[in-house]
Structure 1
């Protein structure tokens, strides 16, 4: 068991990439229907109303899968390049995971700001708010 954990193929980029792929697939396949579910993309912007919740989770699942497809090959490459785990190996495999998590949140929040205003109302194509139907 120790040899598996000490192998360079047991690295943060590969494991987190697989987790990102799994999370993205599961949220896409089984989207959280309500904000009360135990899983989903949960931030202030995504929990304003049901529309922001649905869009935030849809987009976060897309970005999560995209990041997973980048992290998995990078983790495999790091396993091939390094013979053993070292401090440099640790930095090179953990840093992309941290950057990926920040990109996931950043891109999703930016997307929500482009689609909805601060009150959770949809923006029209000109950047203003759509008037609610009476």
Structure 2
């Protein structure tokens, strides 16, 4: 009898998807209070000030859960399609994980840039009589 580690259900998408779901849930449920916490979404943009830190972690937790809900079913599907572990299974399941990690960072950084300027101050909404920034 094969061990669970040798079955195609032990694949990168399924395991990383569960990790993304867990991280997203834990950061949402227990957000890191300060930038000195040992966990959290930590990039240059998110560590400018407390507001960027809080928003970066809130949004990264949301995206992480979203990606987890995509990776887990994909990993299960790959486990049902393949009868055994192979190089092709590895490549097909690790590629979405890498893309997902890049998306998590890219989308969260884009979100922070939409809300905050380079100094971490909130961006002003362009109201009716204000001139647009050049």
TM over 0.5: yes
Residue aligning to 2:61: 61
For residue 7 of structure 2, what is the aligned residue in structure 1?
Answer: 7
SS at match of 1:46: helix
TM-score normalised according to structure 1 size: 0.92
Which is further off, 2-11 or 18-27? 2-11
Alpha-carbon distance in 2 for matches of 1:67, 1:124 = 30
> What value does the CA root-mean-square deviation take over the aligned residues?
1.5
Stretches of 4+ aligned residues off by more than 2 angstroms: none
Q: How far apart are the structure 2 equivalents of 1:108 and 1:2?
A: 40
Aligned to 1:19: 19
The whole-number CA distance in structure 1 between the counterparts of 2:2 and 2:36 is: 40
Q: 1:63-106 CA distances to partner (integer Å, 9 max, x unpaired)?
A: 00000000000000000000011111110000000000000000
After TM superposition, list the pairs within 5 Å mapping 1:118-129 onto structure 2: 118-126=118-126
Question: Match of 1:132?
Answer: none
Report 1:44-83 matches (<5 A): 44-83=44-83
Provide TM-score, normalisation by structure 2: 0.92
- Deviations 1:14-59, CA, capped at 9 Å, x for gaps: 0000000000000000000000000000000000000000000000
SS of 1:34's equivalent in the other structure is coil
Matched positions, count: 128
CA distance in 2, matches of 1:61, 1:2: 35
How far the C-alpha of 1:3 sits from its partner, in A, is: 2.2
Report what 2:109 is aligned to.
109
